[in-house]
Amino acid sequence: MTVSPALELDRLTAGHHKVPVVRELGLSVAAGEIVALLGPNGAGKSTTLDTTCGALPPLSGQVRVSGRRIRGVRDAARYRVAYVPQHRGLFRQLSVDENLRLRARSRRAVNDVYERFDALGALRGRQAGLLSGGEQQLLALLCALALDAKVLLIDEMTTGLAPGVVRRLAEVVKSVASEGMAVLFVEQHVHLALELCDRAYVLNHGECVLEGAGPELRERIGELSASYFADGRDADRSDDDVP
């Protein structure tokens, strides 16, 4: 018997107001795997994540979590899909502790998070909106941990953050994945993404133009850069074309 991946996009066509911006995307993430979704602005990365978490209905194709179809946000919540959107999705007026408790599956899950990440304990009474960017992103990731998510979706994890903070967040992502969470993340910083991920997909104009293992794509960085400028029908341009 074949085991279903933790997350599977099966010929997913997604978009807004019935206009497709992502076409026939096939993608999978196994439990414990870290997968990057790369591509230029407007390629359809956020649309893909919005559809994966059930917030946008697919125009065709399916999203499945452990083989079960996601038809909306209720299914996504039931099958423990956590989404850290680009602006982190925190309740900015509430404290760190209140944000964690609102998502957590149990009081124990909150305590476990404080035990593992003691830096957060010192901030527990602080209003989330007053945290630094890095602290907010850490809190958003740890809310997913407290939820005991099976699938974690992260949009633009490191945008605007200092390199030291970025490294720390990358360690947190590795740590949660090592416990079996399937992670799909969107990242502007290609080198960081390829270091962190097991595999990556590159989207351009809503089509997957390149995919491969992180180390393999690090060696094919010229081809990867070129794929950012491809139009989905012209992925064979030479490196000389890259600005």
Task: Give the residues lining the site for ligand ADP (CB under 6 A).
Answer: 16, 21, 39, 41-47
162-194 b/e (C-beta count within 10 Å ≥ 16 → b): eeebbeebbebbeebbeeebbbbbbbbbbebbb
Annotate 85-124 with DSSP letters as a single string.
-TTTT--TTSBHHHHHHHH-SSHHHHHHHHHH-HHHHTTT
Residue 58 binds which entry of Mg ion, ligand ADP, none, with Cβ cut-offs from 5 to 8 Å by kind? none
Least Å distance between CB 204 and ligand ADP?
9
End-to-end CA distance of the chain: 48
Nearest to ligand ADP of 18, 107 (CB atom)? 18
Least Å distance between CB 188 and ligand ADP?
9
Least Å distance between CB 123 and ligand ADP?
29
Least Å distance between CB 190 and Mg ion?
15
List the one residue out of 120, 43, 24, 135 whose CA is nearest residue 90. 135
Which residue reads 């490191």 in tokens?
158
Nearest to ligand ADP of 110, 207 (CB atom)? 207
Q: Helix, strand, or coil here: 21?
A: strand
- In the complex, the residues that contact Mg ion under the rule CB under 5 A are 46
Q: Which residue is nearest to Mg ion (CB)?
A: 46
Nearest to Mg ion of 110, 137 (CB atom)? 137
Residue 42 binds which entry of ligand ADP, Mg ion, none, with Cβ cut-offs from 5 to 8 Å by kind? ligand ADP
Nearest to ligand ADP of 45, 103 (CB atom)? 45
